Amino acid sequence: MFSLLTTYPASAFFRMTSHIRPLIIFGPSGSGKGTLVAKMLEDFPDKFGFSISHTTRKPRPGEKHGVHYYFTDEDTIREGIEKGDFLESAVYGGNIYGTSKAAVEDIAKQGKVCVLEIDVQGVKQVRNTDLNPWSVFIKPTSLDELRERLIKRKTESEESLQKRLSKAAEEIEYGTTPGNFDKIIINDDFETAYQELKQFVVDNVLKDD
């Protein structure tokens, strides 16, 4: 299954029916990006639409099919990727994740900015299309703090926790490399981080359309 990505690369030729640039929100697991995105969607319901990804990961308590993710199985997602139904896909922590072209198109048709909460492999693939995305990196204050947050969240097994933490250092390096992201937000305090995100989208992303 790990050959999936090299066998079926992202569609570099995907063209959306809309000119609206999507917004990528990227950050290590436990950085708080999901909470920031949820608040932004709540504050700007007419402006942003969340791209609901497909995943082979099992739902966490409270996660709903068709809201947080489309929960699927490996054969089905592989088939979809093979058929070219996905804008990008990645293997993360032993599970497959992917953004379907349909999910992105639906949001574009509504005239909204599509919000993509994706990992580093996905970020690179979307950059390889002509979508010209905006990109924001949500940075945790430290790896120790990230570990604390993930433990407190109680959503991960010990194995999954270790996988996520081992990825985090690499993700922080990618996120803080100059030129990789339009905006870096340090998520030390939620309110401060959210205000920074809001300011960025109002001054840039929403000025765009």
Distance CA 7, CA 103 (A): 22
72 binds ligand 5GP (CB under 6 A): no
How many other C-beta atoms are found inside a 10 Å radius of the C-beta of residue 26?
23
Least distance in angstroms from the C-beta of 92 to ligand 5GP: 4
Residue 66 in tokens: 């068709």
DSSP β-ladder status, 23-26 and 113-117? parallel
- 124 is written with which tokens? 């690179």
Neighbours of 107 (CB within 10 A): 23
Taking CB under 6 A as the binding criterion, the range among 70-78, 111-119, 176-184, 200-208 that sits at the site for ligand 5GP is 111-119
Q: By CB under 6 A, how many residues form the interface with ligand 5GP? A: 14
Span 139-158, contacts to ligand 5GP by CB under 6 A: none
Q: Is residue 69 within 8 Å of 55, Cβ to Cβ?
A: yes
Q: In the annotation, is 164 catalytic?
A: yes
Measured CA distances, 153 to 34, 60, 91, 179 (Å) = 13, 11, 22, 32
Distance of closest approach, residue 205 Cβ to ligand 5GP, in angstroms: 18
Q: Is 53 in the site for ligand 5GP (CB under 6 A)?
A: yes
Query: Which residue shows structure tokens 């909204």?
Result: 112
Residue of 115, 118, 131, 201 that binds ligand 5GP (CB under 6 A): 118
Q: Which stretch binds ligand 5GP (CB under 6 A): 77-85, 115-123, 146-154, 184-192?
A: 115-123
Those residues whose C-beta lies under 8 Å from the C-beta of residue 31, and which sit 6 or more positions away, are 138, 139, 140, 146, 149, 187
- Known catalytic residue at 60: yes
* Sole binder of ligand 5GP in the list 18, 29, 72, 135 (CB under 6 A): 29
**Residue 57 falls in the annotated catalytic set:** no
Name the site residues for ligand 5GP (rule: CB under 6 A): 29, 53, 57, 88, 90, 92, 97-99, 117-119, 121-122
Annotated active-site positions, please? 60, 153, 164
